Amino acid sequence: MGDVAVGARSGHDGEDRGRPVGAAGPAPDGAMTSGSDSGPAGDGTAGRAGADGGGPGDSAPAAKKPRSFWKELPILIGIALVLALLIKTFLVQAFSIPSDSMQNTLQQGDRVLVDKLTPWFGSEPERGEVVVFHDPDNWLAGEPTPDPNALQTFLSWIGLMPSAEEKDLIKRVVGVGGDTVECKGTGPLKINGKALNEASYVYPGNTPCTDDDAGGQFKVKVPEGYIWVMGDHRQNSRDSRYNQGDANKGMVPVDEVVGRAVVIAWPVTRWSTLPVPDTFDQNLSARTAAVAPEGLALAGVLPIALWRRRRSRQGAE
């Protein structure tokens, strides 16, 4: 008689054994599991596999029990705190408006978000921007210091509330390094001899300049590395004008600028961005104002010089 073929064991048994017991949900992409297939049928090895201990009677290894949510919660909170600290330090920070000096652009109690990222790439404040800066030289002397509770201290530490220990101010940048800023009478405010139209942001009823002898009338040249700032509520803002007696002559060092306020985040009824007013789009450069007359003079003299040179050549011939 001919040889009798040994029956092959189905590979489905191996697939059932390879799947972890009690696994919940689909496996992650790239980590799919599959069972161990049996050897080829007809070679006499399938039947011996069961005898060697690889048969269906073997129990699969126990699946690892998922970590409890309450055990993972402290880890998640820790990660969230680290991310909040990184965001506060390098990206964006919330600040509360404590006074009326920036009305009506900002109201007392508003929360603004300040961009802290762009200064890390060398960006400096520009005219028309609303910026937050550290007190440059005791501008807040005599102002009451808030006494936060434990919760407020914690929220300020992770960046969800402003710190009571940091003495910061918020004003609008009017002049940058190299600018000449002046205000006479009741206005208008001028930068390098060019008048600003400030009706869109100066507090209604206020004049651009304050007619007093305490600093409301001024003409200053802003040094490089400094800015000149003013509040939008001109008659209710102790800004660069009224701090000209300090070490910086009323200027704010660029190094003391925290960042630009870009949006009012709270309350939701006040949500809006803080763009640069259109009046600052005009060419206010001090260099242009100084060089333009020289350029016009050169343009007028050049044709005459060429004409005289041509006449000299003709006479020589």
Rounded CA separation 18/13 (Å): 9
For residue 171, indicate whether it is catalytic. Answer: yes
Catalytic residue among 101, 156, 237, 240: 101
Catalytic residue among 88, 116, 171, 190: 171
Q: Is 66 helix (H, G, I), strand (E, B) or coil?
A: coil
Tokens representing 119? 């200064």
- Measured at the CA of 133, the angle between CA 130 and CA 162, to 5 degrees, comes to 95
| Cβ-Cβ contacts under 8 Å for 62 (sequence gap 6 or more) | 21
HSE-up (13 A, CA, CB side) for residue 218: 26
Torsion angle, alpha carbons of 291, 296, 297, 302, to 10? 120
For residue 101, indicate whether it is catalytic. Answer: yes
CA distance readout (Å), 201 to 198, 234, 265: 6, 10, 19
Tokens representing 138? 């005791």
HSE-up (13 A, CA, CB side) for residue 212: 10
The reply to whether omega before 267 is within 30° of 0 (cis) is yes
Catalytic positions are: 101, 171
